[in-house]
């Protein structure tokens, strides 16, 4: 019997860690700054487990019955935690962080009660040293398994809501299994059995309806009709449409509007490319939507474009969906284009080729995993891949709304040895947006554009490189891997804008 209970320890350890990781992952999806979210959620969760372990001493009678009921409570609260938190974020005006930490604390207390009770039950059949060693062994083994399975398999295929509910069902199954193991020692068997099946039915109903709940919540979160959603291992991809305006959101953040994306992508590509008629090999980092590639392919002298984007779900979507291939003019299917799905920093460390022009089109540095792609170390790696006269352009957030963040990127590029030429353009969906040309030599401002453009022209281009007083340079530190100061600047500045 004790072997079956030890296997239950493996299951409940897996479930406990899963709830913790799901809460931390969901909060980083919704709030950004993944290090802060994971650190605070894990800290609160571990503290709550300590509180639960302390409270377990007050459970003196009917240990098995109390264990079964705690399993059912963990299954219900933990199983529905992701669905509840996402609904709070999208539907309620309640302070999300307060609710998040209350839910994490409650789950942590319940999980903290589990292991002490199991150890006290097992103590009847095993020596104390055997109880401790075996329980902790299965506990840590369960944590290892779920830490691998959750991000690699469960969340990409089930999503966070269904993953949480699946683990809730596992907790309820442990309760039902304990009912069977200790059936001769339980006084209120019928009542406990009714509780078990009621919880299982509730969780199963939630699992079946999770897709509808997600769709309902996202419909409230996004103003326009949602026409596509997908959760990849890296991000939540949502496409919306209102009349002829299609919008892409990654983890809830707008990436483009089809109404004005041409302004952004023309400003990103052409001020650099128009002054480089000799450019043959082009590298695009990020930009998995293929819209920057579309603009690059307008130049007939370009022989090859290498696109490096982390998420294969993005590049696959924008290479196959008709409504999106129409927008990017089937750029990702061009014989000149090679698509590589890899982390840009890791890929650069191993790349040996040289490029005449590099487009750095990453999402804004809202967290530390993105902030590393704006660091001096990253730019030094990139410099090694530039040809003798090579240039690059970096999208650099808004010099109006995130002024210090923008000039931090300029400072970081200069600290890596680049000569920079910052500029800006108005993109209605985003506001005033910033870009930086960088190279070993200062890039001249183009006097004409040899390709068709809808936004740029020679007469208005000089104004892009002129910064008015409210966007003029301000002091800032260089962004380095060991300080990630840019992420702090970005979070502080955009928090004021959102308010």
Active site residues: 361
Residue keyed to tokens 């809460």: 23
| Distance between CA atoms of residues 7 and 177, nearest Å | 11
| Distance between CA atoms of residues 253 and 493, nearest Å | 16
Residue keyed to tokens 């090579």: 390
Which residues in 393-418 are b (16+ Cβ under 10 Å) and which e? bbbbbbbbbbbbbbbbbbbbbbbbeb
Residue keyed to tokens 């909060």: 27
Q: Where are the alpha helices (DSSP H) in 80-154?
A: 81-91, 96-122, 128-149
Sign of CA dihedral 315, 317, 320, 321: negative
Three-state DSSP state, 431 = strand
| Distance between CA atoms of residues 324 and 144, nearest Å | 40
Angle at 417 between CA 271 and CA 367, to 5 degrees: 75
DSSP assignments along 189-240, one per residue: HHHHHHHHHHHHHHHHHHHHHHHHHHHHHHHHHSSSEEEEEEE-SS-EEEEE
CA 437 to each of CA 86, 271, 302, 343, 443: distance values in angstroms, whole numbers, following the listed order: 40, 8, 19, 23, 7
Structure tokens, 138: 């299965």
| Distance between CA atoms of residues 75 and 52, nearest Å | 16
End-to-end alpha-carbon separation of the chain, Å?
57
DSSP assignments along 419-485, one per residue: EEEEEEEEETTTEEEEEEEEESSPPPPPS--SS--SS--TTTHHHHT---GGGS--------TTT-H
Answer for the pair 403, 493: CB distance below 8 angstroms, yes or no. yes
Sign of CA dihedral 305, 308, 314, 315: positive
């Amino acid at each position: 019997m004790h072997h079956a209970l030890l296997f239950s320890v493996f299951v409940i350890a897996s479930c406990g860690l899963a709830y913790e990781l799901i809460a931390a992952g969901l909060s980083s999806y919704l709030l950004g700054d993944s290090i802060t979210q994971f650190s605070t959620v894990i800290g609160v969760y571990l503290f709550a487990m300590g509180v639960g372990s302390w409270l377990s001493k007050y459970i003196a009678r009917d240990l098995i019955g109390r264990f079964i009921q705690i399993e059912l409570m963990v299954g219900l609260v933990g199983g529905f935690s992701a669905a509840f938190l996402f609904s709070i974020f999208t539907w309620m005006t309640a302070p999300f962080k307060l609710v998040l930490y209350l839910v994490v604390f409650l789950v942590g207390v319940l999980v903290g009660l589990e292991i002490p009770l199991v150890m006290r039950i097992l103590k009847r059949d095993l020596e104390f040293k055997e109880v401790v060693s075996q329980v902790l062994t299965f506990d840590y083994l369960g944590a290892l398994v779920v830490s691998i399975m959750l991000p690699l398999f469960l969340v990409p295929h089930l999503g966070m809501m269904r993953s949480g509910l699946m683990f809730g069902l596992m907790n309820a199954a442990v309760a039902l299994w304990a009912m069977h193991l200790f059936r001769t020692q339980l006084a209120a068997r019928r009542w406990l059995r009714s509780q078990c099946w009621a919880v299982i039915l509730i969780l199963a109903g939630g699992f079946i309806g999770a897709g509808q709940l997600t769709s309902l919540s996202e419909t409230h979160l996004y103003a326009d009709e949602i026409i596509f959603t997908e959760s990849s291992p890296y991000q939540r991809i949502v496409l919306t449409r209102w009349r002829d305006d299609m919008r892409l959101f990654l983890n809830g953040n707008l990436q483009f509007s089809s109404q004005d994306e041409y302004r952004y992508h023309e400003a990103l590509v052409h001020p650099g490319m128009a002054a480089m008629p000799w450019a043959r090999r082009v590298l695009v980092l990020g930009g998995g939507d293929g819209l920057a590639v579309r603009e690059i392919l307008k130049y007939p002298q370009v022989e090859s474009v290498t696109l490096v984007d982390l998420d294969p779900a993005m590049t696959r979507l924008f290479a196959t969906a008709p409504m999106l291939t129409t927008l990017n003019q089937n750029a990702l299917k061009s014989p000149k284009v090679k698509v590589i799905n890899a982390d840009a920093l890791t890929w650069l460390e191993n790349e040996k080729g040289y490029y005449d022009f590099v487009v750095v089109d990453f999402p804004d540095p809202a967290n530390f995993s993105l902030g590393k792609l704006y660091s001096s170390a990253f730019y030094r790696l990139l410099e090694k891949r530039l040809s003798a006269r090579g240039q690059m352009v970096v999208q650099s957030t808004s010099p109006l709304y995130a002024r210090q963040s923008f000039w931090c990127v300029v400072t970081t590029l200069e600290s890596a040895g680049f000569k920079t030429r910052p500029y800006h353009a108005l993109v209605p969906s985003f506001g005033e947006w910033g870009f930086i040309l960088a190279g070993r030599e200062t890039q001249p401002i183009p006097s004409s554009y040899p390709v068709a453009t809808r936004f740029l022209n020679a007469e208005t281009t000089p104004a892009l490189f002129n910064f008015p007083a409210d966007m003029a340079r301000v002091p800032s530190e260089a962004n380095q891997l060991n300080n990630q100061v840019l992420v702090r600047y970005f979070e502080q500045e955009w928090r004021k804008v959102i308010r």
